[in-house]
């Protein structure tokens, strides 16, 4: 066996050895201390794949099998613990999913089969596969991942699966590091190994970590800290294994991920080599929703009523959570009008039931509906300031005590409320004993939105605490009646922040303004918004007229199927503006590239492509009705068009892959392409593309290539607005060449 293989074996064993104890490895065997006992094994082989057969006493295992046994990780015991502690969802219905492979428009398929295929161990996996499971809040991501984990654990115990999903519930945990989340879950499961060994087991394809609620690992550091946490874990995988990270679709800005990972890789002992595979959980259509309603209730009248609600709330009722809540509400006989907004309807239904349930010794309700709502607002506010979605029972009782004092309740009534607050129907058991959370993030958002719009709130302090999601923003807008919208906008425009909280406040201002546009767009004519950052905001289908944006910044706004008429962008640059054939920007003056640096449109494969060339951006915006001057850039030569097409094809891969090989170029159709060869030489001449080496766990060292700048930054240079001298020189060469 080669020295590099022996070093891998030593490192794998060290993750299970007692702390600060030596691990001795030679070509004949290994010895180490584990559980205060000396362990010795002998090597035979090596088996195919360069790793030896492990012999201990009279027993023999393949290298991979040895680490799964009860002498090391005891993965069967872990699977049994998972089955005892993780509960499945009643009346579960598997969603469909769509794989975004960056090259073709994939057809929807069964989500479970899609993820299982992508995560299955591969002897010669080229790089770590990072599955980003995307979906809106309530789309069923958590239910799907829990079901997948339980199903995988059953199959592992029965000997029908070679690997085990390791479900990490990051939702609600006030953590900024992935290692902390892993350590807590392992303790809860009473695992036979520590978090140090998770990377080794993942490298071997024995574990597939699932990080549910990856956007919860934010802490005060924002996106960079969350991605850095994941990157540190990837650095220990050496390009092997697979993991799943789920979050709301609005969270994913993974074009920043390779940049964060590259910085960590410079100081890392391992080779960071990964591929990002986005998988979208698709919303249910009307047929799916009605079929689920029939499975959940036997009452035909309820199913018919659900059909009426779907006609009025199609988007919300395409998510399993809201659909299940509505079915339960109607089955309980609650009055419900299709004219009511669904969130308000469901909240009021739960509160009415709580009013009836929480009674004193005389049989009278202790709290009315408004008081129940206020109590939950205070709980949500406490969670906001604590930076968590979970609180312990003691904290709940303290909040209840304060609420009862505010309501003027007597001591005996207050004591009953405090004792029974933990059984409130709006709350549910959390990830650890003695902790509770709201049933769903929609309900938490509903009550936290009241904190945001409260006239007495210190808005700068509230918005500087954490990042608001679009659900909170929409609920805040919905909580405002038309007569107070302008007063709230004045408060937004007057928000002043310190240096440390500026980024969070500006992003939250953008989220709240986007919520106002979505909910109150028809009454905003003549309004001006100031100092907001609109980062990846979803404004598709919105209608807006006569609005001014001053000193704002738009990064990746989605204006597909939207109509923005007579809009003024005053010192408010736009990049990655998403448009489609139904986008209208009539009577809106825009400058290219100073005002609009790039747009995102669909190519012939149905894939998103970002356009930077001023003439292309101008043409697309003019088709949408915008008022523009002709772009000054000259038309490209036929050779220039071919090279740009090759560069975009390369960039589709470069956005998802940190390092790439000749085989990757062949897969995306660039191997042997003379236009790509020309581009490669220019990129390398400017230091934008460099050679690196990647050590495969089961194969020899091979030459790899990697970009030294973000793919988006390189493409942005086409518009002539890059601050990077090397990028500017590259595009000057590309645009000046005619051969």
CA-based nearest residue to 302, from 283, 278, 326: 326
Confidence of residue 219 (pLDDT cuts 50, 70, 90): very low
pLDDT at 492 over 90: yes
Distance between CA atoms of 531 and 715, rounded to whole angstroms? Answer: 27
Residue range 107-116, pLDDT digits in tens: 778 888 888 8
Residue range 506-557, pLDDT digits in tens: 999 999 999 999 999 999 999 999 999 998 899 999 999 999 999 999 988 9
Distance between CA atoms of 537 and 426, rounded to whole angstroms? Answer: 29
pLDDT at 224 over 60: no
- Whether the bond into 363 is cis, omega within 30 of 0: no
CA-based nearest residue to 243, from 129, 152, 143: 129
**What pLDDT was estimated at residue 739?**
54
How many Cα atoms occupy the beta-carbon half-sphere of 587 within 13 Å?
Answer: 8
First to last CA, the chain: 51
Report DSSP letters for 634-661, one per residue. PPPPHHHHHHHHHHHHHHHHHTTBSSB-
Stated as kind and residue range, the H or E segment containing 474 is helix 470-479
pLDDT at 322 over 90: no
* Assigned token pair, 261: 């990972």
Within a 10 A sphere around the Cβ of 88, how many other Cβ atoms?
A: 12
Mean pLDDT over residues 396-423, rounded? 93
pLDDT at 700 over 50: no
Q: Decide if 634 contacts 720 (C-beta within 8 A).
A: no
How long, in residues, is the chain?
A: 739
Distance between CA atoms of 323 and 216, rounded to whole angstroms? Answer: 25
pLDDT at 697 over 50: no
* Assigned token pair, 510: 């953008």
Confidence of residue 464 (pLDDT cuts 50, 70, 90): confident
* Assigned token pair, 143: 């239910």
pLDDT at 597 over 80: yes
**Helices and strands (H, E) in the chain, number of each type:** 27, 28
Strand order across the beta sheet in which 435-438 lies: 391-392, 435-438, 427-429
Higher pLDDT pick, 449 / 306: 449
Residues with Cβ within 8 Å of 342's Cβ and at least 6 positions away in sequence, in order, are: 309, 313, 316, 317, 322, 326
- Least confident segment among 37-41, 198-202, 701-705: 701-705
Highest mean pLDDT: which of 76-85, 420-429, 722-731? 76-85
pLDDT at 340 over 90: no
pLDDT at 701 over 50: no
- Least confident segment among 218-232, 496-510, 620-634, 680-694: 218-232
Residue range 618-662, pLDDT digits in tens: 989 999 999 986 555 556 678 877 888 888 888 878 877 777 877
Distance between CA atoms of 269 and 256, rounded to whole angstroms? Answer: 22
**What pLDDT was estimated at residue 279?**
86
Q: Decide if 149 contacts 86 (C-beta within 8 A).
A: yes
Beta bridge partners of 37: 34
Distance between CA atoms of 557 and 382, rounded to whole angstroms? Answer: 32
Higher pLDDT pick, 148 / 319: 148
Tokens 């939702």 belong to residue: 171
pLDDT at 737 over 80: no
Tokens 């794949």 belong to residue: 49
Report DSSP letters for 514-569, one per residue. HHHHHHHGGG-TT-EEES-EEES-B-TT-EEES-EEES-EEES-B-TT-EEES-EE
**What pLDDT was estimated at residue 298?**
61
SS3 string, 255-319, reads: HHHHHHHHHHHHCCCCCCCEEEEEEEECCCCHHHHHHHHHHHCCCHHHHHHHHHHHHHCCCHHHC
**What pLDDT was estimated at residue 220?**
35
Please tell me the pTM assigned to this model. 0.76
**What phi and psi, each to the nearest 5 degrees, are found at residue 33?**
-110, 130
Q: Decide if 197 contacts 16 (C-beta within 8 A).
A: yes
**What pLDDT was estimated at residue 79?**
96
**What pLDDT was estimated at residue 489?**
94
- 3-class secondary-structure state, position 243: strand
Q: How much of the chain exceeds pLDDT 90, in percent?
A: 37
Residue range 26-53, pLDDT digits in tens: 999 999 999 999 999 999 977 555 789 9
Mean pLDDT over residues 594-619, rounded? 80
CA–chain centroid gap for 614, Å, is: 32
Residues 88, 94, 100, 101: is their CA dihedral positive or negative? positive
Mean pLDDT over residues 377-389, rounded? 89
DSSP letter at 632 equals -
343-346: list long-range contacts, CB under 8 Å, 24+ apart: 343/316, 343/442, 343/446, 343/475, 343/478, 344/478, 346/322
- 3-class secondary-structure state, position 72: coil
Residue range 440-456, pLDDT digits in tens: 888 999 999 999 999 98
Q: How much of the chain exceeds pLDDT 70, in percent?
A: 87
Parallel, antiparallel, or unpaired for β 109-110 and 128-135?
Answer: unpaired
Q: Considering the chain, what is the average pLDDT of its residues?
A: 83
Tokens 């230091």 belong to residue: 687
Parallel, antiparallel, or unpaired for β 274-281 and 128-135?
Answer: parallel
């Amino acid at each position: 066996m080669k020295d590099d293989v022996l070093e891998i074996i030593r490192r794998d064993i060290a993750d299970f050895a007692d702390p600060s104890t030596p691990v001795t490895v030679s070509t004949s065997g290994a010895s180490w201390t584990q559980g205060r006992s000396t362990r010795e094994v002998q090597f035979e082989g090596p088996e195919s794949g360069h790793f030896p057969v492990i012999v201990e006493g009279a027993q023999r295992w393949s290298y991979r099998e040895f680490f799964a046994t009860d002498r090391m990780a005891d993965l069967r015991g872990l699977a049994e613990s998972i089955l005892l502690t993780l509960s499945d969802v009643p009346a579960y219905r598997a969603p469909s999913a769509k794989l975004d492979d960056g090259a073709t428009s994939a057809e929807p398929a069964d989500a479970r089969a899609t993820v299982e295929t992508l995560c299955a161990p591969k002897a010669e996996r080229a790089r770590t596969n990072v599955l980003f499971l995307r979906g809106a809040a309530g789309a069923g991501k958590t239910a799907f991942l829990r079901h997948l984990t339980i199903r995988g654990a059953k199959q592992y115990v029965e000997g029908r699966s070679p690997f085990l999903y390791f479900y990490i519930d990051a939702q609600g945990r006030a953590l900024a590091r992935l290692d902390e989340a892993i350590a807590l879950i392992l303790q809860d499961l009473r695992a036979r190994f520590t978090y140090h060994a998770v990377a080794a087991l993942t490298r071997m394809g024995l574990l597939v970590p699932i990080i549910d609620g990856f956007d919860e690992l934010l802490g005060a550091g924002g996106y960079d800290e969350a991605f850095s946490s994941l990157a540190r874990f990837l650095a220990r995988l050496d390009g092997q294994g697979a993991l799943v990270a789920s979050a709301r679709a609005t969270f994913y800005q993974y074009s920043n991920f390779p940049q964060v990972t590259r910085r960590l890789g410079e100081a890392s002992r391992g080779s960071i080599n990964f591929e990002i595979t986005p998988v979208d959980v698709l919303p249910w259509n009307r047929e799916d929703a009605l079929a689920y309603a029939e499975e959940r209730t036997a009452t035909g009248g309820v199913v018919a009523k659900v059909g009426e609600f779907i006609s009025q709330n199609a988007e919300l009722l395409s998510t399993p959570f809201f659909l299940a809540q509505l079915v339960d509400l109607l089955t309980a006989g609650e009055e419900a009008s299709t004219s009511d907004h669904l969130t308000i309807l469901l909240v009021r239904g739960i509160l009415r039931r709580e009013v009836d349930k929480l009674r004193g010794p005389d049989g009278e309700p202790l709290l009315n509906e408004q008081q129940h709502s206020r109590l939950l607002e205070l709980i949500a506010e406490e969670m906001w300031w604590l930076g968590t979605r979970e609180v312990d029972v003691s904290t709940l009782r303290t909040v209840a005590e304060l609420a009862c004092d505010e309501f003027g309740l007597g001591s005996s009534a207050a004591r009953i409320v405090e004792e029974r607050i933990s059984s409130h129907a709006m709350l549910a058991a959390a990830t650890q004993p003695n902790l509770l959370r709201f049933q769903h993030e929609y309900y938490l958002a509903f009550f936290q939105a009241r904190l945001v719009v409260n006239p007495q709130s210190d808005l700068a302090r509230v918005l500087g605490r954490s990042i608001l999601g679009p659900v909170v923003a929409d609920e805040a807008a919905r909580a405002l009646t038309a007569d107070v919208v302008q007063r709230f906008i004045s408060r937004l425009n007057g928000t002043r922040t310190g240096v440390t909280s500026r980024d969070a406040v500006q992003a939250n201002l953008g989220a709240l303004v986007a919520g106002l546009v979505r909910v109150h767009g028809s009454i905003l004519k003549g309004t001006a918004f100031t100092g907001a950052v609109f980062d990846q905001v979803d404004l598709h289908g919105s209608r807006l007229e006569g609005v001014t944006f001053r000193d704002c910044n738009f990064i990746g706004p989605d204006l597909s199927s939207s109509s923005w008429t007579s809009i003024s962008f005053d010192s408010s640059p736009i990049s990655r503006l998403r448009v489609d054939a139904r986008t209208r920007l009539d009577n809106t003056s825009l400058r290219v590239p100073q005002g609009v640096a790039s747009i995102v449109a669909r190519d012939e494969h149905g894939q998103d492509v970002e356009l930077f060339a001023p003439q292309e951006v101008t043409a697309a915006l003019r088709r949408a009705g915008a008022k523009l001057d002709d772009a000054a850039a000259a038309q490209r030569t036929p050779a220039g068009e071919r090279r740009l097409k090759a560069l975009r094809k390369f960039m589709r891969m470069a956005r998802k892959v940190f390092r790439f090989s000749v085989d990757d170029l062949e897969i995306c159709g660039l191997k042997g392409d003379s236009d790509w060869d020309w581009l490669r030489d220019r990129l390398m001449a400017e230091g934008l593309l460099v050679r690196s080496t990647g050590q495969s766990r089961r194969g020899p060292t091979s030459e790899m290539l990697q970009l030294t700048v973000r793919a988006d930054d390189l493409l942005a240079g086409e518009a002539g607005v890059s601050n990077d001298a090397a990028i500017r020189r590259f595009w000057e060469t590309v645009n000046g060449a005619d051969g």
